[in-house]
Amino acid sequence: GDATVALTADGARGTRSLLVQGRTQSWNGAAVDVTDVLVPGTTYTIGLWLRLPAGAGEAGLRVSVQRDVDGVASYETVTTVERVTSQWTQVVASYTPGRFDTASLYVESTGSLTDFLLDDVLVSGVTYTPDLSLPSVADALADDFPFGLGIEPVDTLGGRGDLAAHHAVQITPGNQMKPESVQPAEGTFTYGDADLMVDWALEHDMRVYGHTLVWHQQTPAWFFERDGAPLTTSTADQALLRDRLRTHIEAVADHFRDTYGEYGTPGNPIFAFDVVNEVIDESQPDGLRRSEWYRVLGASYVADAFRYARAAFGPDVLLFINDYNSEYPDKRAPYLRLVTDLLAQGVPVDGVGHQLHVEVGRSVPMIEDTIEAFEALPVTQAVTELDVSTYRHAGEQWATPPADRLLEQAYYYRDVLAMLKRHAASLESVTVWGLEDSRTWLRAGAAPLLFDGALQAKPAFWGVVDPSRIGATPTPTATPTPTPTATPTPTSTPTPTATPTVTPTP
């Protein structure tokens, strides 16, 4: 960008630092080429010191990595410090890169154009080796339902890939099949990372659950514009948006058929797809989210999407609707009503997905009530994005959860899986949303998954595989009134993998 850098005589721990000034865009900053430093799939600790010039007030700064693959750039957040002042602040975070041709590490701001100083940038890596002698989660659950993992391309590399392949029989690509990844500009389709993940699944004899065709997030703005202006509810604009919806779905279906063969054949591992994701808003009179899709087309786009998907994918791909917080009665009711109405109209809904982003203490009977409610309909169901945060409420914060909370999490996983097994005949699969804790989409310290950042099994793993090996029963604590999950399916901007260590210089 337009920024300039200069050495100063004010260091965080020495006598020099780098001053970044003259920024005209928030992404302007100091960058260093780390192509020959980083290795895909290796976890790194990135440390540096930041401050603003005297008198500059405060601002948010972000440490980021740009990865370029086959000429396509991706931008990933390593960590964000919301409040940097004129006092030196140390920042330490973890980062695991996916594949790249070139990579650079840089510091940018979250919105301001302030000057800033940085010093003592250190990148150190460690290679973790998983214990593949442990029982496979998929094998432990094989008599009940297939076990899947929601993963990113980085999770197919090295020890991470070994761990995922050992424990799962299906994968859900976290972001690679979402609209902004597949069709960032109208008529421009990119499938590189999506194909990479399907290829990896084939190599390891896995199924692929596609995610997602229609969503209110991670959908490019052009979908809802004509010549740069927002679409209206005119007949012409509605026809344009329906055509774009149909074209997108057909293009995705055709690509994976042309690349891997007809659906339902051994060469094509895609067996299911989230057609419509997170359309329920229980606060609305009709229970539907007021998205751009809804603004232009009204409720009809949901049925249209399923009909287009059936025509494009054929009968051998299960078509799912998917949502979060479906265990809460207020969300369950409009979700159930919508699916019931769609089926009554002959809309080809094959399955209902329950994300189950929950926390320790979330009512398991409440989850079961939802599964039982949908058992009355002629659909299959799936747990699509299960994770269990160790935080009970937003006021809790830690770098590492207390031992008793990890035990509580393990017993919670045990109870959820025991309940799901009672309904195995109704479940197409159960998927945990992430491989290990350091790359969860949740805030740092939530530690919601079965493996820790070093790829080692946690008590939660044994809660799923063999509860007799969890350990001591945790001391019971009061269960707060459950609060709906605030943020659903993760977006393409990676969640910071560690909470910044903020240490102002005395």
60, 112 Cβ separation under 8 angstroms: yes
Radius of gyration of the chain (CA): 23
Shortest CA distance to 122 belongs to which of 398, 442, 501?
501
114, 303, 423, 444, 487 from 368: Cα distances, Å: 51, 27, 9, 29, 22
Which residues make beta-bridge pairs with 276? 214, 321
Distance CA 354, CA 277 (A): 11
Closest of 90, 75, 83, 87 to residue 110, by C-alpha: 83
Contact 102, 134 (CB under 8 A): no
Q: Cβ–Cβ contacts within 10 Å for residue 418, how many? A: 12
Among residues 119, 274, 359, 385, which one is catalytic? Answer: 385
**Position of tokens 């002698």?**
133
Of 274, 278, 359, 408, catalytic: 278
Helices assigned H by DSSP within 146-234: 158-167, 179-182, 192-203
> What torsion do the CA atoms of 104, 106, 109, 115 make, to the nearest 10 degrees?
-140
CB 351 within 8 A of CB 380: yes
Q: Which of 119, 323, 350, 437 is catalytic?
A: 323
Query: Residues 78, 108: contact at Cβ < 8 Å?
Result: no
How far apart, in whole angstroms, are the C-alpha atoms of residue 100 and residue 38? 9
Q: Describe the crossing of helices 329-344 and 300-313 by its angle, rounded to 10 degrees.
A: 60
The closest alpha carbon to 480, from 327, 358, 361, belongs to 361
- Residue 416 CA to residue 362 CA, distance in Å, equals 10
CA 172 to CA 149: how far, in whole Å?
A: 6
327 is catalytic: no
Q: Is 404 helix (H, G, I), strand (E, B) or coil?
A: helix
233, 296 Cβ separation under 8 angstroms: yes
Q: What is the largest CA-CA distance in the chain?
A: 73
Structure tokens at 483: 């609060």
Instruction: Find the DSSP H helices in 62-191.
Output: 137-141, 158-167, 179-182
To 5 degrees, how large is the angle CA 355–CA 184–CA 492? 35
292 catalytic residue (yes or no): no
278 is catalytic: yes
- What proportions of the chain, in percent to the nearest 5, are helix, strand and coil? 30, 25, 45
- Annotated catalytic residues are 278, 323, 385
